[in-house]
Chain A
Amino acid sequence: MERDLISKKELLDEKGISYGQLYRWKRKQLIPEDWFIRKSTFTGQETFFPRDLILARIDKIMNMKDDLSLDELADKLSPALPDYEMRKSDLVKRNIVSSIVLQRFASEDDDSLVYAFDKLLYFYVVDKLLQAGEMSMEEGERLLEALREHFPKFAGKACDLVFTRKMGVSSFALLSAPSELYFESGVKVVARISMTECIEQLKGKWV
């Protein structure tokens, strides 16, 4: 999976920002360390970024930096889980998680029960995969279990969820990002989701 990369120089030209701004944002942890990809080119060492991620992030920073301080921005963008909470009934109302998912996985919970952000995140990820039609309900249940058991271990570090299937047998894995992963032939990677992106998307729903 070769990602589309953008060089630092291109990025600065395209977005009209300066080196100083880029380094400042990096210092403030607005841009994660692991997006800085060092590569040798014929002109020497150059730094590249994952194009889609960095362009979206720079836009976000430029849009919000007038209203928020850089530290507030950092909180919003960090992979650490915020202490947002939401009532179960609001989840459906605000179209964050579909009612089918809640019926299936949270039917015994009371409507007024308040979920912490990590619980919401698990539902959100399961919902996302179900909506994409890539996963069955039974698999969703297993995914939910896997997330509950293993996701807290990453403790705020960036991680990816990988969903594979071989000869009809599915399995889930959580791995720290960025990492490269190769499978034997016959294994189909159904989905690879960045949990960090999911957290950001979910955080975005609060605004």
Chain B
Amino acid sequence: MNQPAQGDLVINGVSTASGGQYGRVKIDGVGTVEGDIVCTDFDCNGMTKIRGSLAADTMDADGMFTIDGHLSAARSFIDGYVKVKGSLKGDDFVMNGQLRVGGNCEIESFRAEGAFEVGGLLNVGTMDVLLQGRGKAGEIGGESIRVVRKSSGPLNKLLSWFVPRLATELHVESIEGDEIDLEYTQAEVVRGNRVRIGKGCTIGLVEYRTEFSAHPGAKIGKEAKVGD
């Protein structure tokens, strides 16, 4: 493939740039991009804001990163806080920190440590999350879904007692998948082939096809084996 050479965008310090097509984008400091941006490689450190959508092959975001539109990146590495007002699409997504997405999320492999909030459907191939804050999603659907929690210290427990909003728990309406493994999850419905409900869960209804196990401490309203 012979593509015309594309310019790079480099911001150091405090600056604003316009959107468009770029090869590499590197933003250090406080950078704002006005408009949609398409690039092969996106790397930002510090406070970054995009007033538009971002489409990139690789994205590495450290610090605070806000996108007003949609984000689509084949590979994303995030350390810090990312807020996407629109939808999120990607193949590999590795995160340490906090993610907020207003719309739907479609990710093939979602590995995260920290907290997340998805307004719509979180559609994942494999999801492996270590909760260190609050998780929230409208729905979660996918092939393999695993959510665990680090044991929280006494200070954290006290904090979540006073401010329940900060409790290290996953809140979701429904979870549907082939293999599901949950801890500290509040859900109305969980449906899957193999379902394991761990400690700290409160689930209204569990429907499973092949396997089911529950931690004695989990609260389950109703469980049912469905299918053949």
Contact = CB atoms under 8 A, between A and B. Distances in A.
B108 A27 contact: yes
Nearest to A8: B176
Nearest to B189: A44
Interface stretch (A15-23, A94-102, A153-161): A15-23
B227 A24 contact: no
Interface in B114-151: 123-125, 141-144
Nearest to B180: A19
Q: Which of A20, A44, A45 has most chain B Cβ within 10 Å? A: A20
A23 B141 contact: yes
Interface in B173-228: 173-174, 176-179, 188-189, 191-193, 204-205, 226-227
A20 B174 contact: no
B174 A19 contact: no
Contact of A13 (B108, B124, B192, B227): B227
Contacts of A12: 227
Contacts of A20: 142-144, 177-179
A102 B18 CA distance: 49
B63 to A, nearest CB: 29
A26 interface: yes
Dominant secondary structure of chain B at its interface with chain A:
strand
B106 interface: yes
Nearest to B143: A20
Nearest to B144: A20
Interface residues of B, number: 24
Nearest to B193: A18
Interface residues of A, number: 14
A57 interface: no
Given A18-B193, A45-B174, A23 B143 contact: yes
Nearest to B175: A19
Given A13-B226, A26-B123, 20 more contacts: A18-B178, A19-B176, A19-B177, A19-B192, A19-B193, A20-B178, A22-B141, A23-B124, A23-B143, A24-B125, A24-B142, A26-B106, A26-B141, A27-B108, A27-B123, A27-B125, A44-B173, A44-B188, A44-B204, A45-B174
**For the complex of A and B, 10 pairs with smallest distance between CB atoms:** A20-B143, A20-B178, A23-B141, A19-B176, A27-B106, A18-B178, A23-B142, A23-B123, A27-B123, A19-B177
Interface of B: 106, 108, 123-125, 141-144, 173-174, 176-179, 188-189, 191-193, 204-205, 226-227
28 contacts: A13-B226, A18-B193, A19-B142, A19-B177, A19-B178, A20-B142, A20-B143, A20-B178, A22-B141, A23-B123, A23-B141, A23-B142, A23-B143, A23-B176, A23-B177, A24-B125, A24-B142, A26-B106, A26-B123, A26-B141, A27-B106, A27-B108, A27-B123, A27-B125, A43-B205, A44-B173, A44-B188, A44-B189
